[in-house]
Amino acid sequence: MNPDYTSQEKRWSIFAGVALVLMVLIVAFDLLVPKPKAPLTDAQHQIDVDKKTNEALSEKVLLAQARKDNQRFLWSMPVDKIGPTALSAVNELARVHQVTITAFRPQKQNEQSGLLLLPYLIVMQGTYPGVTGFLHDLQATSTKLAVNLVQVAAADQSTDQVNASIGVIAYTTPPEPPATPAPATSSTSKSTSAPVTRPTKIVNINGRTKKS
110-138: pLDDT as tens digits: 998 788 999 999 999 999 999 999 999 99
Q: What is the pLDDT of residue 114?
A: 83
Q: Tell me how far apart the alpha carbons of residues 32 and 30 are, in angstroms, rounded to a whole number.
A: 6
Residue 162 DSSP one-character state: E
* Cα 105 from chain centroid (whole Å): 23
**Residue 73 phi, psi dihedral angles, 5° rounding:** -105, 5
Q: Tell me how far apart the alpha carbons of residues 119 and 77 are, in angstroms, rounded to a whole number.
A: 16
* pTM, rounded to two decimals: 0.53
Q: Tell me how far apart the alpha carbons of residues 42 and 48 are, in angstroms, rounded to a whole number.
A: 10
| CA 207 vs CA 75, 124, 203, 211: distances in Å | 97, 110, 10, 13
Q: Tell me how far apart the alpha carbons of residues 155 and 131 are, in angstroms, rounded to a whole number.
A: 12
Plot region of 124 (φ>0 → left; ψ -120 to 50 → alpha; else → beta)? beta
End-to-end CA distance of the chain: 150
At 43-99, the pLDDT tens digits run 666 666 666 666 665 656 655 665 666 577 789 899 999 999 999 999 999 999 999
Could you tell me the domains of the chain?
Answer: 72-172 (3.30.70.60)
